[in-house]
Amino acid sequence: MKTLRLTDTTLRDGSHAMRHQFTRQQVRSIAQALDRAGVPVIEVTHGDGLGGASLQYGFSHTPELELIAEARSVCERARIAALLLPGIGTRKELKAAAERGVQVIRIATQCTEADISEQHFGLTKELGLEAVGFLMMAHMRPPEVLAEQARLMESYGADCVYIVDSAGALLPDGAYARVKALKEALTIQVGFHAHNNLGLAIGNTLAALEAGVDQIDGSLRGLGAGAGNAATEVIAAVLDKMGQNPGLNVFALMDAAEYIVAPIAPYQPLPDRDALTIGYAGVYSTFLLHARRAGELYHLDPRSILVELGRRQAVAGQEDWILDVALDLARRSQDKPVPQT
């Protein structure tokens, strides 16, 4: 039986929930606990990846390169990974991360924009690092389109390509079909990254496993954007009960989640009304605040704005659509005939 690989993203995706305020000591404690529990890969960066600390995405409490170095210094077995979104992170940040000890670069693009990642994969391989591709917002395109995009990443040098359910919008059959399509199209490994907006992070991860996935992601306590991620400690327990534990210490991960992450987490991610709306609409959680403001301006339920944005397949960088959508919805509501009594 092949060995499934888990990457823990507490120190990257969890950065969103922490408002990017992780301290050196927190990173050391979490990374050391994950390493001792047998987690093979630990991702450490700003929530929006290398170079993400900015006015637009939120400033970090501690520079991410220092956090990467702290994590690397306490890990005896685990490899350190970093996320890079072309256009936010550049070749400069990629090289700097490698100098601080990063061994895996995860290069993320919108699921139809793999072609913008070629130079980043090239540099990653030049530096002798493992290269992983991320196809974000994968619910927005059918499996065959994702397979085409994944083949591009493979041609650029990717060692693995992930289906990424950025909005937590996939159902298990959709997760299965997308992973299966990549498994049939590629000669490299396939990964799956889940979010829990519809309460299906673990279910979708199991569906990906059924489809033959090679790599999966989790975060302690589910700490992450929106309703959070598939919880690492839950994944470990479920895999163990299935007889497919790849070497994770279930009790140690439970303890890390309970005694290290829970005390510092500002809240417990869950599918509350806002997070559920994001998953139901299939849009980025960053749209939520803008939709609320537009809703107040035009006297609309912000959920209707988000659902319409999802119907139009809006992605990150298209926040300017929100006011246009709100205005369209407001005009439609005014044009409705008044019922006669």
- Residue 67 pLDDT greater than 90, yes or no: yes
Hey, what amino acid is at 175? A
Query: Which helix or strand (DSSP H or E) is residue 43 part of?
Result: strand 41-44
Q: What is the pLDDT of residue 319?
A: 81
For the stretch 140-193, pLDDT in tens is 999 999 999 999 999 999 999 999 999 999 999 999 999 999 999 999 999 999
CB 75 within 8 A of CB 39: no
The response to whether 173 counts as a known ligand-binding position is no
pLDDT recorded at residue 58:
77
pLDDT for position 336? 60
For residue 55, name the pLDDT band (cuts at 50, 70, 90): low
Confidence band, pLDDT 50/70/90 cuts, at residue 2: low
Is 299 labelled a binding residue?
no
Q: Which helix (H) or strand (E) holds 130?
A: strand 130-136
Q: Annotated binding residue at 193?
A: yes
Q: Which of 151, 164, 166, 82 is nearest to 118 (CA)?
A: 151
Phi (first) and psi of residue 266, to 5 degrees: -70, -20
Q: Is 36 labeled as ligand-binding?
A: no
- Count CA atoms closer than 13 A to 86's CA, side-chain side: 21
User: Taking all residues of the chain, what is their mean pLDDT, rounded to a whole number?
Assistant: 94
pLDDT at 28 over 50: yes
Q: What is the pTM of this model?
A: 0.94
Instruction: Look at residue 338 in the predicted model and tell me its pLDDT.
Output: 40
Confidence of residue 109 (pLDDT cuts 50, 70, 90): very high
12 is in an annotated binding site: yes
Residue 283 to residue 191: CA distance in whole angstroms = 21
Least confidently predicted of 50-59, 138-147, 161-170, 205-214:
50-59
- With a CB cutoff of 8 Å and minimum separation 6, the contacts of 180 are 143, 211, 212
Are 217 and 200 spatial neighbours (Cβ–Cβ below 8 Å)? no
Q: Region 199-225: what's the mean pLDDT?
A: 97
Q: Which pLDDT tens digit goes with each residue over 12-25?
A: 999 999 999 999 99
- Check pLDDT > 90 for residue 80: yes
- Segment (H or E) for 273: helix 273-281
Position 251 pLDDT exceeds 90: yes
pLDDT the model gives residue 317: 72
Catalytic residue among 16, 20, 46, 139: 16
Question: Residue 120, annotated ligand binder?
Answer: no
Distance, CA of 107 to CA of 153 (rounded, Å)? 9
Q: Is 16 a catalytic residue?
A: yes
Percentage of the chain modeled with pLDDT above 90: 87
CA separation for the pair 63, 86 (Å, rounded)? 19
Task: Enumerate domains of the chain plus CATH numbers.
Answer: 5-261 (3.20.20.70), 286-335 (1.10.8.60)
